[in-house]
Chain A
Amino acid sequence: MKKDWTPTQEAFDSLLIWLDADREQAGRKYEAIRLRLIKIFACRGCREADELADETINRVTAKVAELSKTYEGDPALFFYGVAHKLHLEYIRKISQSPPVPPPPPASDDGDNAAYDCLDQCMRELPAPTREMVLRYYQENKQAKINDRKRLAQELGIGVNALRIRAHRIRVQLQKCVEACIAQAVLQ
């Protein structure tokens, strides 16, 4: 996307103050909004989700002097309105561009390296956590649903809590694998 305006330090500071009087808290809110805007653009099928999120923030920053006096409500929702309009612009733009080619198929070499890294990362997990992850991701369809119910019962938690617990470990594993691959490339 073409950037209309580049924020000044003063405008950026004003944005943070608008988000929260406490600067540390304002920084956290800023990061949270940015992360969620990226997610929204990605979910809307935009390949340049990061750039669109940043452009949304720039547009809000450009209006912050006025907003801080007139806007009432959760600032996050104002960002949302701007992001929605920007997305419409994006759709108009890509409809005039040639389609993006599909990504090349993954190579087996890369998968093997990731597999070895995953093995290493799994071994770093405490045994009960490792067993829980292996059980959670085993089986297909109905067998998986039933096994997860049983696993949740054994752990004394709800199925939804188990889903979130397994997801957190998965995120941790994925980061561990990415770090392991990056290290292997450096060596």
Chain B
Amino acid sequence: MAWGKLLMAWNQNDEHALRQYLLGQSGEFQKIEQRLLVEDEFLEDLEAAEAHLVDEYVAGELTQAEREQFEQHFLTGPAREQDVKFARVMRRYVTAHPVEKKQPERQPWWQFWSGQSWVLRAAVAVLAVVAIAGLVWVYQTRNASFQTFATVNLTLSSGNRAGGAAPVPKIQLRPGTLKLNLQLPDNSTPTTNYRVKLFKGDGEVKTLEIVERNAQSISVVIPSAQLSRGRYAIELTTLGANGVEQLVNGNYQFAIE
């Protein structure tokens, strides 16, 4: 239980005990009276409870039994009769002077939060930090997946897939995409269409999309998620106007580390 609620519960219990005491119905009257003698502020609490009880009597808010108790036990002596008289006048005056009620203002969000328990506020703060960190991570990961981690120029080797005499470029695998610029054969024309296939070992991995093209080369990109350590080969196929495909001699080779 939050301290504020605990304090409120304590106050309500105290108020109830004082009310019972004032009506002569408290079994703990000695406890209350001893507190009254040794606690400075308790007298004011008791007097406030007296005034409240008098107001309830004047407003007709007491039950029949409470009213009888009030008249027989509480209403003894001129001082309390004076209190009742004052309460009646006060009630008449207040009724004749109504205060226009203010519409409850819409609470700003920071006031709403300042009214919450520190546990809830801390939990929400932690969740907010985690959510922001998550968004940043997703954003960075997304960006990283589109970032080119390496651009490599490959020339057509005349050897087979297993590799020829020319050195094979070794590429360090990182998050993002690998961009490969493939040098076209000398007999290539601007109108020649190509299909690009990627192989690892002896098996085809996938057909690659051409993202750029100029007179000397075509470019493809491969997401790092589709690569793993090992040696790769790329083969080109020309697509004739009659739909006939023809494999270009040689291949492009690279290795992922």
Which residues in A have some Cβ–Cβ distance to B below 8 Å? 32-33, 35-36, 39-40, 42-47, 49, 74, 76-77, 79-80, 84, 102-103, 106, 110-111, 114-115, 118-119, 122, 131, 134-135, 137-138, 140-141, 147, 150, 154, 158-160, 163-164, 167-168, 170-171, 173-174, 177-178
Contacts and interface: CB of A to CB of B under 8 A. Distances in A.
Contacts of B78: 103
What are the 4 tightest A-B residue pairs by CB atom distance, in nearest-first order? A167-B48, A76-B37, A114-B89, A137-B94
Interface stretch (B97-105, B188-196, B237-245): B97-105
Interface of B: 4, 7-8, 11, 21-22, 24, 29-30, 33-34, 36-38, 40, 43-48, 51-52, 55, 59, 61, 71-74, 76-83, 85-86, 88-94, 97-99, 101-102, 104
Given A47-B77, A115-B93, A164-B44, A80 B37 contact: yes
A40 B36 contact: yes
A40 B37 CA distance: 9
Nearest to B105: A154
15 contacts: A33-B37, A36-B37, A39-B46, A47-B77, A49-B77, A76-B37, A102-B71, A111-B92, A114-B89, A122-B97, A137-B55, A137-B91, A138-B99, A160-B11, A163-B48
A167 B51 CA distance: 8
Nearest to A154: B102
Among A74, A115, A150, max chain B CB count under 10 A is at A115
Contact of A45 (B46, B47, B76): B76
A115 B61 contact: no
Contacts of B90: 118, 137, 170, 173
A135 B97 CA distance: 10
The B interface, classified by DSSP as helix, strand, loop or mixed, is helix
Contact of B99 (A39, A102, A134): A134
A102 B72 CA distance: 9
A131 B99 contact: yes
A110 B81 CA distance: 13
A74 B38 CA distance: 8
B38 A77 contact: yes
A108 B77 CA distance: 20
Contacts of A167: 44, 47-48, 51
Given A79-B37, A103-B81, A138-B94, A35 B104 contact: no
B76 A46 contact: yes
Contacts of A46: 76-77
B89 A177 contact: yes
B93 A118 contact: yes
A122 B85 contact: no
A36 B4 CA distance: 30
